[in-house]
Structure 1
Amino acid sequence: MNILVATEKAFSPFAIRQIREVTEAAGFTLVLLENYTDKSQLLNAVSTADALIVRSDKVTSEVLNAAIQLKIVVRAGAGYDNLDLQACTSRNVVAMNTPGQNANAVAELVFELLLYQIRGGFSGKTGSELRGKTIGLHGFGNVGKYVADIARGFGMDIYAYDPFVSERVMKNNSAKQSTDINEMYSKCKYISIHMPLNEKTMKSVGYELIKKLPQNGVVVNTARKEIINEDGLLKIFEERKDVCYLSDIEPDCKSVFEEKYKGRYIFTAKKMGAQTEEANINAGVAAARQIVDYFTKGIEKYRLNK
């Protein structure tokens, strides 16, 4: 049984060692395709794979057509918009993710971005503090809960909006429930976005929401760039000189920000939320264990295409 780890952005060496231990202990063969630069390399590698572990790599219909003996693909991470679930289903390939495994890494990045911005990029200029400030969490899954925990440590006033999470769960995690998303954006100086990308969330945060932010409001996006309506974002940046946007992935309109809005944005060079040793290990090993459990016990706990 061949388990292929195919990653444009490789796991850490220590994570690979642990993935290998899990797969080889079950009698499977681990195959690595790391830091590949051309899709043809992936298409060639998947042709002999029974199982596939990816990170943000796109598993498309073309990839699945080449993977003639593939039975399961696991996205090592929570977001799975890089998996074509319909194509997986039509080819009888089980698709899974590993929710929660990199949540703390993403949550910590929220505050790394925030602190750098509100302290003026550590330039020596007078900055601001987080204690006593309001933060609104747009989405309250695994990452949102960790963000709330860290925000509590900073002494922040925490609000959360998520129609799929109860008030009790939010209260147990130190957040006050917001039932009106417009009200939360109006109330909170800092907004941190933690929604999955789907048809409903695509371009759902734009001009009408962002314009409601208080003076010197900041939007932090460690989810997906497609959640932001970039036309609306640019419009509010043109109208208001106080709003900032911090993102864990460069928007398509990056060049406009570079030309016109210096000092009001931070974009990571590559999506960095899960780029910690711990998150690498957690997500990679979880993916390997889920594959082993699927083949040996028929467990499909985190199956996405049911």
Structure 2
Amino acid sequence: MNDRPRILITEKIADAGVDVLRAVGDVDVELKWSADELAERIAPYDALVVRSATRVTAALIVAAPRLKVVGRAGTGVDNVDVPAATKRGIIVVNAAGSNAVSAAEHAIALMLAQARNIPQAHAALVDGRWERSKFGGIEVTGKTLGVIGFGNIGRLVAERAMGLGMRVVAYDPFVADARYREMGVEQADSLDDLYPECDFITLHVASTPETRGFINADALGKMRDGVRIINDARGDLIVEADLVAAIGSGKVAGAAIDVFPEEPATESPYFGVEGIIVTPHLGASTGEAQERAGAACAEQVAAALTGGVVTSAVNIPVVSAETMATVGPFLPLAGHLGRLAAGMAGRITDSIEVICEGEIAKHDTRLLVTAVLAGALTGHTVESVNMVNAADRARERGIEWSDSATTVARDYTSRLKVRIGDVSVAGTTVGSTARPRLVEVLGQSIEMELAEHVGILRYADKPGKIGTVGTVIAGQGINIASMAVGRSLEGEATMGVTVDTPVPPETQAAIADGADAEVWFVELDV
């Protein structure tokens, strides 16, 4: 009887990756199966290896009773229903970091292509026009490059730019100060500080509610005249119409775009605009990146099938049933508290402190610490952040963390507290479904269930403040779902509020002005 695992590959990966898998199991490579055929035939397989085209849905997972591991030969796992896989105990692995060098080099290539008008000159010449004077360019040596997003790819871009003799200024509020100093890169305190300094600006941030469309008319207006933009990160970071208008007015000299809000993109406001170079999402499209992705994914799948060490799983690692019974219900809360604290702090340049109190402190709390790190970094890195890689992502950014545990939890069976800089938040869970509940903010006791859209205000405890907040929010057509207030003997109050829809920045500013308050609104994945 053959007890070797059966492995199905549905999209082309590097031959080296296929060889790795053949060493541990029987491999079938089926590149032409439709979604229906895959669902009909997947039942006998122990492992499935895909790239981006195959959709691993909850229904497909149900149709695969033997499946133990899904491998994604790339970084993103948007095409895999990770929660459904986790529920079934299926490990999902990817090839984290496999395309970083290629993406960084493509950003540099786009910058140089802009500086020397290479695509335009090529198109003119093959069209029979010799126009040397029209396509004179600029040198990059001695120019300033602004790097927005100083994660793995951003740092690789900075290294290469400095090798070209450029001055590099970077902004990323979730990278430790020491990382900038180590590389000799200047650290901008804010985007507003970075914009006017730069001849070129390259984007390397994730797409989040805070970053979508952040390169807009207002931001472009703060930039140096003649700036050139590079984007091979996410297509929705830039308001397309605003960039086109800025190029038309001469404010922006050019742009190089590799990513689009909707892909594949066969129509775009960018197409045909003089001064804009476009490529069809080629950032990771190198033989080396694809080779690394296929081989790295295959090694992880092989490790999962043979009981080896899996280092790039994107779902929750296995812990004892006893620990998970107590700690598991607090994992979502830990992520929410990490995200809330990071959102309020605005940046993490030093350390994160996690304090476990009560019953949860009697168990292995490393998962809780990891969940806090994942929550704090989510949305602030180009690379995906999850329970498995959060610690590595924090280390890459020079962020340290500490944790402590005490079996005493004042007023609660268990309580979890997170501190980032001057910001501290604490919470617990309530009910049979372990609903996440906020119980302390900025040292003030407050009782409020967490929700998707959370606002925190700190102000002098005087009459009329609650009414002002309610009036401003309601005046924008935003419904308040809940509100809670904590008060101190020193005359300071802290308010927590949840609303049904996001609160735009101008409304937040109106609240701050009307109530004379510090205001933070944070989006949580509740």
TM-score range, shorter chain: 0.7 to 0.9
When structure 1 is superposed on structure 2, of 142-151 and 228-237 the one drifting more is 228-237
User: Contact (CA 8 Å) 1:3, 1:50: kept in 2 or not?
Assistant: yes
Shift of 1:121: 2.0
User: Counterpart amino acid of 1:107?
Assistant: A
What does residue 277 of structure 1 align with? Answer: 287
What whole-Å deviation, never above 9, does each CA across 1:61-94 have from its counterpart, x for those lacking one? 4554554543322333334444443343344332
Q: What is the DSSP-based 3-state SS (H/G/I as helix, E as strand, rest coil) of the residue aligned with 2:270?
A: helix
Which of the numbers 68, 71, 75 marks the counterpart of 2:72?
75
1:4 to 5, 8, 14: 8
Distance in 1, matches of 2:308 and 2:270, equals 49
Residue 2 of structure 1: CA displacement?
Answer: 2.9
Cα deviation, residue 47, structure 1: 5.0
Q: How far apart are 1:38 and its partner, in Å?
A: 5.6
Residue matched to 2:278: 267
Q: Which of 13, 17, 20 matches 1:19?
A: 17
Which structure 1 residue ranges, 5 or more long, are not aligned?
A: none
Structure 2 portions without partners, runs of 5+: 122-131, 317-526
Equivalent-residue separation in structure 1 for 2:147 and 2:102 (angstroms): 16
Whole-angstrom distance in 2 between the partners of 1:61 and 1:100: 26
Report what 2:169 is aligned to.
159
Q: 1:215 to 1:23 in 2, by over 3 A?
A: same
Who is 2:51 aligned against?
55
| Corresponding position of 1:257 | 270
The 1:213/1:87 distance shift into structure 2, 3 A limit, reads farther
Please tell me whether the aligned partners of residues 50 and 72 of structure 2 are also in contact (alpha carbons under 8 angstroms).
yes
User: What SS does the corresponding residue of 2:150 show, helix, strand or coil?
Assistant: coil
Over 3 Å counting, the alpha-carbon distance change for 1:51 and 1:193 in structure 2 is: farther
| Residue pair 1:101, 1:283 contacting (<8 A) in 2 also | yes
- Identity among equivalent pairs (%): 32
User: Is the partner of 1:109 in helix, strand or coil?
Assistant: helix
Say which one has the larger Rg.
2
Instruction: Give the aligned partner of residue 226 of structure 2.
Output: 216
Query: For 1:38 and 1:241, how far apart are their aligned partners in 2?
Result: 49
Match of 1:225 in 2: 235
Task: Identify the residue that residue 150 of structure 2 maps to in structure 1.
Answer: 140
Task: Quote the Cα distance in structure 2 between the aligned partners of 1:121 and 1:105.
Answer: 20
Deviation at 1:175, TM superposition (A): 2.0
What letter matches 1:56 in structure 2?
A: S
Structure 1 position 146, deviation (Å): 1.4
Superposed CA offset, 1:170-208 (max 9, x none): 222332222312322232221222223445444444333
Higher mean C-alpha displacement, 184-193 vs 102-111: 184-193
**Equivalent in the alignment of 1:101:** 98
Give 1:109 deviation, angstroms. 0.9
- Equivalent position of 1:86 in the other structure: 83
Amino acid at match of 1:99: A
The answer to whether the Cα contact below 8 Å between 1:101 and 1:279 also exists between their aligned partners in 2 is: yes
Distance 2:82 2:192 in 1: 32
| CA shift for structure 1 position 150 | 0.8
Report the equivalent of 2:357.
none
**Distance in 2 (alpha carbons) for counterparts of 1:156 and 1:292:** 43
SS in 1 for 2:154: helix
Structure 2: how far apart are the matches of 1:111 and 1:56? 25
TM-score after normalising by structure 1: 0.83
Contact 2:258/2:279 (8 A) holds in 1:
yes
RMSD: 2.8
Q: What SS does structure 1 have at the residue aligned with 2:71?
A: strand
Question: Which runs of structure 2 are paired with 1:105-144 in the superposition (5 Å)?
Answer: 105-121=102-118, 123=121, 124=132, 125-144=135-154
Change (3 A) 1:238 1:283: same
Confirm or deny: 8 A CA contact 1:139 1:195 kept in the other structure.
Answer: yes
| Cα contact 1:230–1:251 (8 A) shared by 2 | no
Distance 1:301 1:202, change over 3 A: farther
Residue 288 of structure 1 pairs with residue 298 of structure 2: yes
**Offset of residue 243 of structure 1:** 4.0
Partner residue in 1 for 2:309: 299
Q: Which has the higher contact order (CA 8 A, sep 6+)?
A: 1
User: Contact 2:10–2:33 at 8 Å: present in 1 too?
Assistant: no
1:114 Cα deviation (Å)? 1.5
- Displacement of 1:217 in angstroms is 1.5
In the aligned structure 2, how far is the partner of 1:117 from the partner of 1:255? 19
- Give the Cα–Cα distance (whole angstroms) in 1 for the partners of residues 65 and 243 of structure 2: 43
Residue of structure 2 in register with 1:174 after alignment? 184
CA distance in 1, matches of 2:295, 2:92: 16
Change (3 A) 1:238 1:120: closer
281-290 vs 165-174, which moves further: 165-174
After superposition, the C-alpha distances for 1:257-282 in whole angstroms (9 at most, x for unaligned) are 225x2x3222213x212222211111
Cα offset, 1:305, TM superposition: 2.5
More strand by share: 2
Preserved contact between residue 78 and residue 99 of structure 1 (Cα < 8 Å): yes
With the length of structure 2 as denominator, give the TM-score of the two structures: 0.51
2:148–2:204 contact (8 Å) kept in structure 1: yes
Q: Which amino acid aligns with 1:100?
A: G
Taking a change above 3 Å as real, the CA distance of residues 68 and 199 of structure 1, as seen in their structure-2 partners, is: farther
